[in-house]
Amino acid sequence: MDQNVRTIGWNVVTMDRDLSWSLHILSLVPVSAFWMDNLIDVIQHFYYPILAIVGVPGTVMTIFILLYRNCGLSKCITRYLLAMAIADLSVIILDLILRHIPIVYSVYSLMSLPVCNIHAVLIYAATDCSVWFTVTFTFDRFVAICYPHLKSRYCKERTVAVFLGAVTAISCFKNIFWYFMFWGYYRRDNAPWFCLVTSAGQWFAIYGVIEFLHNILNPCVPFVLIFLLNIFTVRHILVTSRARRRLWARSSTETPRDQEMERRRKSMIMLFLLSANFILFWSLIMFYSVWWRMYALGHQSLYLHNFVQELGFMLQLLSCCTNTAIYAVAQTRFREQLKNVLSYPLTQIYLLIKYIY
C-alpha cells in the first residue's frame, strides 16, 4: 500500500503523521517495515508528550536541588552535575518540545516561522554540551580515582569552570556552520537535518566534510572515550580495592566497614550509571548515523529502515530525562532532598487547611 503523502508549502513532500491514519494502517497492513513505521508513529504520539511532562519538571527539580540543597557532594561534582542537568533541559526544550512534538502532531503553524537554521544551531550546540559534559565528568572522576596525586590540582572549582566554559564555547562555535548550511525554513519531516538545505550545503564538498566530522565528534568520539575511561577506572578500582581490603582486614578488628571504600563505591555507582545511560541510549542513533554516512558513500550491503532512526531519536531523548532517577538511585542525600521538595507543597496545603479549620 502506498504511503499517504501530501505536499505542504515550499513544495516539500512529507508523511501525513495523523494518528487515526497510522492506526488504520496498523489494522490493514501485515507486519513489515512500513507497518513498523506506523507503529512507531503511534507510540510517539503518546511517548513524546509523556517524556516532556516527566522530563521538564524532573530536570528542573534536579537543578533546584543541586543549586540550593546540600546533597553531600563535593562542589566540583555538583558543578558537573548541574551543568549536565542544564544542558539536558535545553535539549528537552529545543529538541523534544520544539522539534519532535510539532512534527509528530503536525503543528505546522509553529514550524512556519523562518528560524530553522537558528533552531538547528541551538539544538546541536545543546546536544554537544550535554554529551561532552558527560565526557568531562567521566574524565574528572578518572583523574580523581586513578591519579589521586593530581586531584588537588585538577579537581578544583576553577578548573571545572574552565572546562565547562571551554566545552560550551567550542560547542557553540562548532555548530555555527549550520546557520549557513540550512535555510530558515523547516522541512517538516523527522530527519536528522530537519531544515531545508541551501544549494551550497547540497553541493559544496566542504559541507560534506563538516557533516562527517560532526557525526564523528558527536557521538562517536564521546562514546569511545567514556567507554575507555570507565574500563581504566574499573581496572584501577578492582586492583586497589583488593589491596585495601587485605590491609583493612589485618589492621581493623572493631570496625567492619571501610568508610573510604563506601564513599568511593557510591561515587562510582553514580558515574557508571551516568556512563551506562549515555552508552545504552545513544548506541542506536550512533550506529544509524555511521551507517547512513557509509550508505551514502556507496557501501550499501546493509539497509536500515526509517523506524530504526526513529527509535534512535526516542532513546536519545530519553537519556536526557533519566538523570534525576540516576541521582536518586545513587545518592541517598539527593533522594532525601527530592522527597522534601516533592512533599513541601503538600505540607503547606495541609498546614493551610489546618489553620483555616
Query: How does pLDDT run across 82-105, given as a tens digit for each residue?
Result: 999 999 999 999 999 999 999 888
pTM for the whole structure: 0.86
188 phi-psi bin (left φ>0, alpha ψ -120 to 50, beta other): left
Please report the pLDDT score of residue 24 as a whole number.
75
CB contact burial 60-77 (16+ within 10 A = b; e otherwise): ebbbebbeeeebebeebb
Q: Give me the half-sphere count of Cα atoms (radius 13 Å) on the Cβ side of residue 23.
A: 5
Please report the pLDDT score of residue 351 as a whole number.
81
Q: Are 123 and 99 in contact (CB under 8 A)?
A: yes
Which 8-state DSSP code applies to residue 289?
H
Please report the pLDDT score of residue 246 as a whole number.
67
Please report the pLDDT score of residue 281 as a whole number.
92
Round to whole Å and give the CA distance between 78 and 164.
12
Q: Are 65 and 338 in contact (CB under 8 A)?
A: yes
Please report the pLDDT score of residue 7 as a whole number.
33
Please report the pLDDT score of residue 300 as a whole number.
75
pLDDT in tens, 233-272: 888 887 877 766 666 665 655 555 666 667 667 777 877 8
CA dihedral angle for residue 333, residue 335, residue 339, residue 344, rounded to 10 degrees:
50
Which 8-state DSSP code applies to residue 6?
E
Please report the pLDDT score of residue 13 as a whole number.
35
Please report the pLDDT score of residue 258 as a whole number.
60
Neighbours of 30 (CB within 10 A): 6
Residue 188, φ and ψ in degrees, nearest 5: 60, 35
How would you class 300 by CB atoms within 10 Å of its CB: exposed for 0-12, middle for 13-18, buried for 19 or more?
exposed
Q: Are 212 and 293 in contact (CB under 8 A)?
A: yes
Please report the pLDDT score of residue 15 as a whole number.
41
Residue 27, φ and ψ in degrees, nearest 5: -80, -15
Residue 260, φ and ψ in degrees, nearest 5: -65, -40
Shortest CA distance to 91 belongs to which of 290, 306, 313, 262? 313
3-class DSSP assignment, residue 151? helix
Q: Are 53 and 43 in contact (CB under 8 A)?
A: no
Contacts of 339 (CB under 8 A, 6+ apart): none
Residue 217 in grid coordinates? 565528534
Q: What is the mean pLDDT of each run of 10 residues along the chain (357 residues)?
A: 34 52 80 86 94 94 89 87 94 95 83 90 95 92 86 83 95 92 86 82 72 83 91 83 66 58 72 86 87 76 85 93 82 85 83 78
Please report the pLDDT score of residue 165 as a whole number.
96
Round to whole Å and give the CA distance between 194 and 53.
24
Which domains does the chain show, CATH number per domain? Answer: 39-356 (1.20.1070.10)
Mean pLDDT of the chain: 82
Please report the pLDDT score of residue 22 as a whole number.
80
Round to whole Å and give the CA distance between 153 and 144.
10
